[in-house]
Structure 1
Amino acid sequence: MFRVFFLWLMVFSGVILTSAQSNPETLQLLDKAYKSLYENPDNAFQILQNIDENKESELIKQRVKIILSRAYNFKGEYAKSIEQSIDKNLNENRNDNNSLYADYALAQQYQSLRLYKQSIRISQNLADKASKIKSQNYPENLMAYIYQLNASNLMVQKKLKEAEENLKQSNALLKDSDEDFLISIENQIYQTFIYITQNQIDKAENIVNEIEAKLNKSPQYIFLRAFNLDNLGRIYFLKKDYARSAEHLNKALELIQNSSYDPLKNRIYDDLSKNYLALKNDELYQKYYSIYKEQADKLDQNKKEALRNLIKLNEQYETKRLENSHNNFVSNILIISVACLIGILAVIFISISEKRKAKSIQKQIDFYSKQQNFIKKIDENKTVVESKVGKIDPDISKKTPLISKEKEADILSRLEEFEKSEKFLNRDMSLAVLAGQLETNTKYLSEVINKYKEKNYNNYINELRINYIAYLLKTDSAYLNYKVSYLAEKAGFSSHSAFTTVFKSVTGISPNTYIQQLTQNKQ
């Protein structure tokens, strides 16, 4: 149940990153705005209004945007966060000095939208550049943030030892500033998630208590205090001490009730509903589950809008890049024409060279045109599937293959890794989103699923979800007490009826019948 919560925390990490060449008053405002993220994100907007960006360097502008982006993420306004942090990232003329900040922000945005492959690629590249960053007089806490980001991505890949090593490298760069104190607390929270993943509950509880003792000396950081109390509540839930778990969760909710930390509140609502369900308090379960469901729908809608904006911005960048490439090609053709005056041999040589460039550019254009299908499908609520399901054309070997054997094998390997994860439980997991995570396009992915899984995408993803829920019901008796509506939500279905229909089509019986059979067997 803790599988993706460390990723969620990463969305809210802020970064100021000091510079000796910056105005001291500006740095004080940046420091104050950063700390306000953990006190009340709305205050950050007011503080940053006092900075005249027109008089500041490009790096200061980058830092302002990063703090604004994090403030919107705290509030659950992911689309506005994208608008703040990504525009500079898509400027191909950016220099090396500010590209580091921009790449860091872009990796965080990819992670917040669950595009982990893209985030991992950037964060690992940044971590590899850590030694160069230091030589370029970048602040050490920037490097600490990069190691922290890379650690969270390694946790997604279940490379827990490497993640711990990155957290140690991050901690080693911290000093005694307020910002470094907050980074250290976040690193401890990541370590808590690692211990929970390893089922070392006692170690996780010790760290949570240590964090609480530190934060009691800085009570203004209500976000981290509430987050830590929520983690403590989750630990007691795993210990099946539901009453004590609910006590800590209510304390966490009380801390931030009047603040705009909507994603954190929703996380707590979800945890409270599960506790009251376990305590068989149906009234409070219904109350908190209803609030959680309503808020989750709003946050999911905002994430979808943010994803559309991100794809649109990348599309604009790709279009501009291809236009520049084409213009360069035209310029080269003109150069060839002038070179023809030199001699026939020179003309032939240059023409051959330019034809090769033309083919290369055409390949880029063809590739980009194929990506338009991916972009359009993000806006669709449902994936259009073929009417013929689970059948392979017996003459498929006679047809011209749409995908190379190497690419086909690569996609199939990535699909197998996907099946080992729990990402298919994501309600937003469409064919287009999965294609983006597997770094391919919808056409190739659909072809591989139809050919090797012998079913279309919808049947494939639904069968994974049903098998997962059936496994939980069989191995964890607690799930036998949950309502079918909760199981549907857990499995990533949009409604109780859709879940029931698919469950019966996969298993041959309804969810209630299946639960009754398991209950009787256990008795």
Structure 2
Amino acid sequence: MLRFYSFTITLLLQNLFFSQSIKNFTVPDSLKNKNFEQLQKAYDKVFRIDNDKAELYANSILLKGKKEKNNTFIYDGYYKIAHTKGLKSENGHPYADSLINITKNVDTKEYPAKAHIIKGILYNYDWKYAEALDHYIDAQKLSKNKNPDQFFYIKKLIGILKTATDENKEALPLFLEYYNYQKQKINTKNKDVKSYIGSIFSVANCYNKDKQYKNALNYIDIGLKECNKFKDYTHYPYFVSGTGIANYYLKNYKIASDNHLKAENSFLKNKDYGNLAITYYFLGKINHDIHKDNIAVNYFIKADSVLAFSKEFYPITRDGYEVLIDYYKKTGDKEKQLKYIDKLFYADSIINNSKQYLSKEIYRKYDTPILLQKKEDLINDLNNKNYILYWCLGGGFVILLALLFMFLKNKKKVREYEQQAELLLRSSIKPTDIVQQISVSKVEEIKEDNPVLQKPKTTVPNNILVEIKSQLEIFEANKEFLQKNITVDGLAKDLGTNRDYLSKTVNDLKGKNFSQYMNELRINYIIEELKTNKVLRKHTISAIAEDIGFNNSESFSNAFKKITGTLPSYYIKLLQSQNFENEDFV
């Protein structure tokens, strides 16, 4: 029953959120008389070509579905909005989360597997490959022996994950299997043109990543012909970009440059900043190789600007910073050298700290020790200092000691958090109930035993104390503490009393102030809720904080740590690692 109410409350909150998210959206006059089939065709026509328009059609599908209470189109609307937002480097996760929640108990050919597919795709866009794989596996289990289209499509998605971690040889059979499946369908009444052409691109892209450039160009040629044959240009700019990449490595610089310039316009229009940055990077590489250094530098700077704007990073672009550092070293611009050394440090910090960025192709001409030395030299030079060697050695030694100290301290703190999480998981949580089953007769005893309560200035009359106690029991039982922005003044007003009486009652009966009382109610609630709600564990810390009334993830984490001695992330990680369910808890 608790799970049912939890699911119902979550669903109501999400419906409220998404009704607000499209509150200002109205279906344009030109689309009001369009039926769902027409809207879907319009969406398919512009998807990946003009994603702003695609999102407009997706919103129209969702709004019409809600007005007509048509679940099929509500599901489709959420899916399409999530996907278009992901392609534009916007947050599509709330829509995917809603789709998972509202379809988890349905059993159709597409759902709930399709909800997990889009969630995995969004995680892939976020570089969170482990999380993406979890959802793909869930989707594969749900679609097996039920929907072969989904089953083979997931093989392609897993192949994409493998190419992201440079496992290209392992990915290729998955792409070829998906391509052969779509190729067999293309001459049947169940053909799926978009998926068929997409399967060709996947094979071509994998050949490019595996340095089999001639094979890549063969499949790109097939893909371009099929785009024209079926008049479906969804993947057209990606084939053009792939042509530019393959020809660059084959040293056909003119062809490579023309294709990248052609792809640039499509990526700009579609706000596909990731592929746009890679396009600028290759235009920089082409001009650098043909010794047009000034043009090359401009493109590398463009690539960096796009990456900084989109807050993304692609390992393949790393050596562009090396070219910039060398260029400004030759021109004597030490400030620019220092700027791009810092950029290279940042790039390496991402590569070193994230498994998903590991790449066998990264050649590190500027490894960390050399960069540290160059950076220190430049800083000293700019400040007219003459003690470069001593400062570098001394500074390096201090940095190493500081890093070692921070590492050991952090390691100890992490272990403490893990131990506290284990203790929290295995302990029987005593609810923070401010009203501790105190009888009316006991109220007078509390007041008699506590000298502070005997002072007329601060004493709460017995009848008011009992009344507030009763109202707080209802407040807690109805879980009203999960609302946001609850203040002692506001709650006192709701309870028909004043802030002093409410504050003093909380202090008398629990021995803590109002803020501590609210935090403990919320934290103890979420501790137990996370044990029973697997879906909730997959939410972000920020989303969980929002759900239980905190203004932000920082205030939630601080309160959780203060009360439990650990952080919510460690507690959730432990629950997930043990596949914890409430019925297993003793």
TM superposition score normalised by structure 2: 0.45
1:106 aligns with 2:119: yes
Matched to 1:74, the amino acid is: L
User: Does the Cα contact within 8 Å between 1:151 and 1:163 map onto a contact in 2?
Assistant: yes
Distance 1:56 1:283 in 2: 59
> What 5-or-longer segments of structure 2 have no aligned partner?
1-32, 315-345, 380-391, 397-586
Distance 1:219 1:499 in 2: 58
1:214 aligns with 2:222: no
**Local SS of the residue matching 1:76:** coil
The 1:43/1:499 distance shift into structure 2, 3 A limit, reads farther
Superposed, 1:426-441 pairs within 5 Å as 428=350
Matched to 2:35, the amino acid is: E
Partner of 2:198: 186
Deviations 1:223-274 (CA, angstroms, capped at 9, x unpaired) = 5222111111111111122232112211222445444333332221122111
User: Does the Cα contact within 8 Å between 1:35 and 1:179 map onto a contact in 2?
Assistant: no
User: Does the Cα contact within 8 Å between 1:243 and 1:279 map onto a contact in 2?
Assistant: no
Displacement of 1:276 after TM fit?
Answer: 1.3
Partner of 1:146: 154
User: Does the Cα contact within 8 Å between 2:245 and 2:282 map onto a contact in 1?
Assistant: yes
User: Does the Cα contact within 8 Å between 1:30 and 1:64 map onto a contact in 2?
Assistant: no
Distance 2:115 2:99 in 1: 7
The 1:171/1:82 distance shift into structure 2, 3 A limit, reads farther
Query: Which residue among 116, 120, 129 is the counterpart of 2:129?
Result: 116
User: Does the Cα contact within 8 Å between 2:264 and 2:279 map onto a contact in 1?
Assistant: yes
The 1:53/1:496 distance shift into structure 2, 3 A limit, reads farther
Matched to 1:59, the amino acid is: T
Superposed, 1:228-377 pairs within 5 Å as 228-300=239-311
Partner of 2:40: 30
Distance 1:103 1:273 in 2: 38
Partner of 1:47: 57
Partner of 2:140: 127
The 1:132/1:106 distance shift into structure 2, 3 A limit, reads same
User: Does the Cα contact within 8 Å between 1:208 and 1:232 map onto a contact in 2?
Assistant: yes
Point out the structure with max Rg over C-alpha. 2
Matched to 1:250, the amino acid is: L
Deviations 1:96-148 (CA, angstroms, capped at 9, x unpaired) = 443212111111122122222232233244335544323xxxxx644453332
The 1:259/1:169 distance shift into structure 2, 3 A limit, reads closer
Partner of 1:73: 86
Matched to 1:281, the amino acid is: K
User: Does the Cα contact within 8 Å between 2:123 and 2:129 map onto a contact in 1?
Assistant: yes
The 1:122/1:83 distance shift into structure 2, 3 A limit, reads closer
Query: Which residue among 198, 201, 205 is the counterpart of 2:213?
Result: 201
Deviations 1:286-340 (CA, angstroms, capped at 9, x unpaired) = 222222111111222699xxxxxxxxxxxxxxxxxxxxxxxxxxxxxxxxxxxxx
**Local SS of the residue matching 1:50:** helix
Displacement of 1:206 after TM fit?
Answer: 1.1
Deviations 1:461-503 (CA, angstroms, capped at 9, x unpaired) = 9xx99x986x565xxxxxxxxxx6xx99xx9x999849999xx
Higher RCO by CA contacts (8 Å cutoff, separation 6 or greater): 1
The 1:245/1:263 distance shift into structure 2, 3 A limit, reads same
Deviations 1:388-429 (CA, angstroms, capped at 9, x unpaired) = xxxxxxxxxxxxxxxxxxxxxxxxxxxxxxxxxxxx977545
Matched to 1:45, the amino acid is: E
Matched to 1:107, the amino acid is: G
Partner of 1:62: 75
User: Does the Cα contact within 8 Å between 1:33 and 1:48 map onto a contact in 2?
Assistant: yes
User: Does the Cα contact within 8 Å between 1:151 and 1:164 map onto a contact in 2?
Assistant: no
Distance 1:165 1:498 in 2: 53
Distance 2:280 2:74 in 1: 36
Partner of 2:95: 84
Distance 1:257 1:41 in 2: 11
Matched to 2:157, the amino acid is: L
User: Does the Cα contact within 8 Å between 1:208 and 1:231 map onto a contact in 2?
Assistant: yes
Identity of aligned residues (%): 14
Distance 1:190 1:75 in 2: 20
Partner of 1:375: none
**Local SS of the residue matching 1:114:** coil
Displacement of 1:28 after TM fit?
Answer: 2.8
Matched to 1:88, the amino acid is: L
Partner of 1:168: 180
Displacement of 1:178 after TM fit?
Answer: 11
Distance 1:215 1:108 in 2: 24
Distance 1:212 1:499 in 2: 51
Distance 1:499 1:72 in 2: 44
RMSD: 4.2
Partner of 2:493: none
Distance 1:247 1:268 in 2: 11
Matched to 2:117, the amino acid is: Y
User: Does the Cα contact within 8 Å between 1:266 and 1:296 map onto a contact in 2?
Assistant: yes
**Local SS of the residue matching 1:266:** helix
Displacement of 1:171 after TM fit?
Answer: 4.2
Distance 1:181 1:272 in 2: 32
Aligned length: 309
The 1:172/1:144 distance shift into structure 2, 3 A limit, reads farther
> What 5-or-longer segments of structure 1 have no aligned partner?
1-22, 135-139, 304-423, 438-460, 474-483, 509-523
**Local SS of the residue matching 1:38:** coil
Distance 1:178 1:92 in 2: 25
User: Does the Cα contact within 8 Å between 1:246 and 1:272 map onto a contact in 2?
Assistant: yes
Displacement of 1:29 after TM fit?
Answer: 1.2
Matched to 2:57, the amino acid is: I
User: Does the Cα contact within 8 Å between 1:192 and 1:208 map onto a contact in 2?
Assistant: yes
Distance 2:203 2:374 in 1: 36
